[in-house]
Chains A and B, each alone.
Chain A
Amino acid sequence: MNMPLAKSGITASIALASPATAKVLPLPPKPSVPFARIRATLGKIAASVVPPAVVVALFLVIWEVACRKAGATLPPPSRVVNDAWELIAHPFYDHGGLDKGLFWHLLASLQRIAMGYTLAAIAGVALGTLVGQSVWAMRGLDPIFQVLRTVPPLAWLPLSLAAFRDGQPSAIFVIFITAIWPIIINTAVGIRNIPQDYRNVAAVLRLNPLEFFVKIMVPAAAPYIFTGLRIGIGLSWLAIVAAEMLIGGVGIGFFIWDAWNSSHISEIIVALVYVGLVGFILDRIVAGVSSIVTRGTSAN
């Protein structure tokens, strides 16, 4: 509306070769600032929410169509919701024994993770620091770590059951042994990569070993340490489900196994969705803590 007018003004001025005859046109009124900001925010949210929503919807449609047919081995999504409505709608019920809502199963699994992962984080950072700082510790320990880290988590379970003679500590041990390797290895790399400059500063200031650890090492290696912690939390969540299938008791892993044994396929599917979401949230939490803690270091 405004443009053609302006254009014609310019062409007219050229044609007549006279000094500027273009009219000054008022700009279209700007939308008020807060309104524009809300719109921009909404646009951003939509850009990140709409594509996955479309993909999920498509996936559900294909699944529904594929599993609707007679003779399909898996239930379609509509039946999953129907069958497992009790589970979806009431995650907090507790009828005693193993008959609990998904929340309680997930909580039991998360408690095991919390124990095993915390131990792994402490021991992993300590061992990683040792290996990163001392050449002899690296020569002695690194080959052993490299071999042990390839052992699949579940292969540790029989051994830990034999040692602890109880399911609970065995599961925690499996989490520990699964999560610790990436934490050790990444911490060691981070410590080894501390720039010589920082070491020189520490030397000139005569920082003692403890001050050096707290004030230079940990912050300088934090991005690496958190990479290890993030891989570690993902692996422990992978391992806990498998370990719980074997040790039984309350826990999301055993819930899935139990559902399989009672042929409640819909319940398995609901549980899988929960497992995925919780794993995602755990990863986000560690990533969030990481970005807060390493703000200074990684910005450099």
Chain B
Amino acid sequence: MTSYCKIDHVDKIFTRGNTETCVLKEITLDIEKGEYVSIIGHSGCGKSTLLNIVAGLTEATTGGVILEGKHVNEPGPDRAVVFQNHSLLPWLTVYDNVRLAVDKVFGRSKSRAERDEWTLHNLNLTQMTHAKDKRPSEISGGMKQRVGLARALAMEPKILLLDEPFGALDALTRTHLQDTVMGLHEKLGNTVMMITHDVDEAVLLSDRIIMMTNGPEAQIGEILSVPIARPRRRLELVTDPTFLKCRQRVLEFLYERHRFVEAA
């Protein structure tokens, strides 16, 4: 039985000169449609490499990614990425950044007016319509990330890839944006794969948490299901026993069994 998105026996070996570094080893993972999966691990464990392989930006050395029964090995809008550093084009306005994606993906299937409407619709989803004529340099980091999210959503991806989307934000902005992402996931039912190193964030947002062992040769160490009903409310979860148990499991994994060892 094939799943919606299957990461199938992926190995990644980086070769530099004569030295070969095996970053990922035997990664196999099934993601169901509509599922929110987080990948958590210490820095350097290859979780971003894994996301780049799914995005098609990096090629797997062996193995591959199958999305809806099709092998994907090059980048495409069906696997839209929200990059950690937003990656908006600074010479385009907020609107034009999203419109560029909309024009490219729906250039043939939607009329000009429909594309305009779709662009504004997605900016509205992430509450960024008010800044549509501003340039990225004129808005805050959190807002840039919202625009990046709007751009990714506007591509109507089969799977949405979030590469530490809240990593560069302050705690309050991060909370706000997490709520936005959670709300959108409930509303739109996207399949999401998110890279993170924040335990609370992973437990709050995910249906399943994939915990990676330390690199080199990082593997999937443990998979934890988060059986908390949606919609989830941040404040209620603080005292929720399931939430606390899940949180503890991840913390134990990261800080006891697979403690980060600084390279000597």
Contact = CB atoms under 8 A, between A and B. Distances in A.
Contact of A300 (B56, B77, B137): B137
A297 B101 CA distance: 19
A296 B90 contact: yes
Interface string A219-232: 11010000000000
Interface string A199-231: 011011111000100011001101000000000
A295 B134 CA distance: 13
11 contacts: A204-B79, A204-B155, A206-B104, A215-B100, A219-B89, A220-B89, A295-B91, A297-B91, A299-B137, A300-B90, A300-B137
The interface residues of chain B, by DSSP majority, are classed as loop
Contacts of B57: 200, 203-204
B85 A197 contact: yes
Nearest to A204: B75
A164 interface: no
Contacts of A207: 104
A250 B89 CA distance: 48
B76 interface: yes
A87 B108 CA distance: 64
Given A296-B135, A299-B135, A299-B137, A201 B104 contact: no
Q: How large is the interface on A (under 10, 10 to 19, 20 to 34, 35 or more residues)?
A: 20 to 34
Interface of A: 197-198, 200-201, 203-207, 211, 215-216, 219-220, 222, 294-297, 299-300
A296 to B, nearest CB: 3
B90 A205 contact: no
B224 interface: no
A204 B58 CA distance: 12
B137 A200 contact: no
B81 interface: yes
A204 B81 contact: yes
B92 interface: yes
A200 B163 CA distance: 13
Interface string B124-167: 00000000000111000000000000000001000000000000
Nearest to B88: A201
Contact of A200 (B83, B105, B136): B83
Given A203-B74, A219-B89, 10 more contacts: A200-B75, A200-B83, A201-B87, A203-B75, A207-B104, A219-B91, A220-B91, A296-B92, A300-B90, A300-B136
